[in-house]
Chains A and B, each alone.
Chain A
Amino acid sequence: MLFRVDPASSVPLGDQIAACVRGALADGSAEPGERLPAARELADSLGVNVHTVLRGYQRLREEGLIELRRGRGAVIVPGVAAPDRARLVSRLREAAAEARELGLTEAEFLELARTSLG
């Protein structure tokens, strides 16, 4: 799996790490059930703080894409649905970013999302 982070980008480093995992899952270069690198190892490779990596992993956990287990580290959730879920989350994040650019408030965006659910 390829991780890349650009400190010059406006996107927080943790989010960039999360985006790498989502992308890898969506394009098949990471598989459901695969273990992510240990946070300390990844932090050392990328030259970032361990907490930055953990923030990224935490985000992925909130999105239901990985499981964090004591002693086993971070594992991508098993099951064939994981890549599709990763794509959905990516699109949602894109939509949220676009809404922010358009100047929508959080409430307006959520209202819009609720309306789309029909």
Chain B
Amino acid sequence: MNRATPRLRALAALPFVLALAVHLLLFARWRDELPAELATHFSARGEGDGWTGPTAYVLVSTALLLGLAAGWTALVRRRYLWAAWATAGFAGGLLVQLLRANRVDDTFGPVVFSPGMDLGIALVVAVVAGAAGWALGSLVPAEAEPSAPGEADPSVLPLAAGEAARWSKDTGSRALTVLSVLALAAAPVTLLVATWPGALLGLLGLVVGVPGLALARVRVTVDRHGLTVRSALVPRPRVRVPLDGVEGAGVREIDAMTDFGGWGYRVRAHRTGVVLRSGEALVVRRGSGREFAVTVPDARTAAALLNALVERHGKV
């Protein structure tokens, strides 16, 4: 459910290609004037204190730009195109300043990279590139706006007077499962391989992996208690919207990036969501115009049942 057009993606990749080309051209041009080891890390005073060979430098810097390009091309949205250009401008500007610092000062002693001056120049490049990207954004047709909130309260499931009903569905994110399992696996490996206290970093794997795995698969339930979203593995943590708090339920197509700015438990100004993928979502309107959304298949049945339960709850 990705709304970026091929043209938008090309425009997002373009600044990184330009930065890469300029950087490699300058590297080739200044090749003879560069030292055998390039200063790539600097102390607070701007003196080089970390060094990299030229081949490694070219490989790492190219990988950096390509990585950023891939990320932005995959996730770009029209109104964030300027940020892709600004990122490329900043990264490209910084790399070029790095080359320049190595080239000029090699003969005079320690390589100096002035944080104020060189970072400032990179920032200026970023701003100029960002402005260019913003202007280019107008070349791309506007994306379709997400459909109006709760446009269709699809239906009300017919329930007999004393009839009890419950709907539930497990839904998950395979990517999140894989990442969490990897993070968990990293913990014991780090503890075995690394020396103390560096191995403490391995505990990060647990910190990331455990909640990750708990959220990777959730169970969405609609019953007489209302709407409940909880981990499919453990009963807590859970999010519950009681029947009292529900004004109506509907179904909507949700784009994780556009509508919620990412995946997971998302909190926005007027809406909260458990977003594990883009696509069909159960959207609940609560009092005071707030919304709660959860991406889940067969949301239509869930919404219809929730509407029926709320209607009956109101009558009692």
Enumerate chain A interface residues (CB-CB to B < 8 A). 1-8, 29, 35, 37, 42, 45-48
Question: Which residues of B sit under 8 angstroms from A47, Cβ to Cβ?
Answer: 164, 224
Asked if B144 is at the interface (CB within 8 A of a chain A CB), the reply is no
Is B223 within 8 A of A46, CB to CB? yes
Q: Which residue of A is nearest B167, CB measured?
A: A2
Question: Which residues of B sit under 8 angstroms from A45, Cβ to Cβ?
Answer: 164, 166, 168, 221, 223-225
Question: Which residues of A sit under 8 angstroms from B221, Cβ to Cβ?
Answer: 45
Question: Which residues of A sit under 8 angstroms from B161, Cβ to Cβ?
Answer: 8
Q: Other than A1-B169, A29-B301, A46-B223, give 19 A-B pairs with Cβ distance below 8 A.
A: A2-B166, A2-B301, A2-B305, A3-B166, A4-B163, A4-B165, A5-B165, A6-B160, A6-B162, A7-B162, A7-B163, A8-B162, A29-B298, A45-B164, A45-B168, A45-B221, A46-B166, A46-B224, A47-B164
Roughly how many angstroms separate A7 CA and B170 CA in the complex, as a whole number? 27
Roughly how many angstroms separate A5 CA and B167 CA in the complex, as a whole number? 12
Considering only CB atoms and an 8 Å cut-off, how many residues of chain B contact the other chain?
19
**Whole-angstrom distance between the Cβ of B156 and the nearest chain A Cβ:** 14
Is B163 within 8 A of A3, CB to CB? no
Is B166 within 8 A of A42, CB to CB? yes
Chain B CB count within 10 A is highest, among A1, A2, A3, A37, for A2
Question: Which residues of A sit under 8 angstroms from B234, Cβ to Cβ?
Answer: none
Question: Which residues of A sit under 8 angstroms from B166, Cβ to Cβ?
Answer: 2-4, 37, 42, 45-46
Roughly how many angstroms separate A42 CA and B222 CA in the complex, as a whole number? 11
Is A46 within 8 A of B164, CB to CB? yes
B146-190 interface mask toward A, CB cutoff 8 Å, 1 = contact, 0 = none?
000000000000011111111111100000000000000000000
Roughly how many angstroms separate A4 CA and B308 CA in the complex, as a whole number? 12
Within the complex, which residue of B165, B170, B224, B225 is in contact with A2, where a contact is CB–CB below 8 Å? B165
Roughly how many angstroms separate A47 CA and B166 CA in the complex, as a whole number? 10
Q: A2-B301, A2-B305, A4-B159 are in contact. Are A48 and B168 (CB under 8 A)?
A: no
Is A5 within 8 A of B164, CB to CB? yes
**Whole-angstrom distance between the Cβ of A89 and the nearest chain B Cβ:** 22
Question: Which residues of B sit under 8 angstroms from A46, Cβ to Cβ?
Answer: 164-166, 223-224
Is B168 within 8 A of A37, CB to CB? yes
Roughly how many angstroms separate A37 CA and B224 CA in the complex, as a whole number? 16
Roughly how many angstroms separate A5 CA and B224 CA in the complex, as a whole number? 13
Roughly how many angstroms separate A7 CA and B223 CA in the complex, as a whole number? 16
Roughly how many angstroms separate A8 CA and B167 CA in the complex, as a whole number? 20
Question: Which residues of A sit under 8 angstroms from B167, Cβ to Cβ?
Answer: 1-3
Roughly how many angstroms separate A113 CA and B87 CA in the complex, as a whole number? 75
The 5 residue pairs across chains A and B that have the minimum distance between CB atoms = A45-B223, A45-B166, A4-B165, A6-B163, A46-B164
Roughly how many angstroms separate A6 CA and B169 CA in the complex, as a whole number? 21
Question: Which residues of A sit under 8 angstroms from B170, Cβ to Cβ?
Answer: 35
Roughly how many angstroms separate A45 CA and B305 CA in the complex, as a whole number? 13
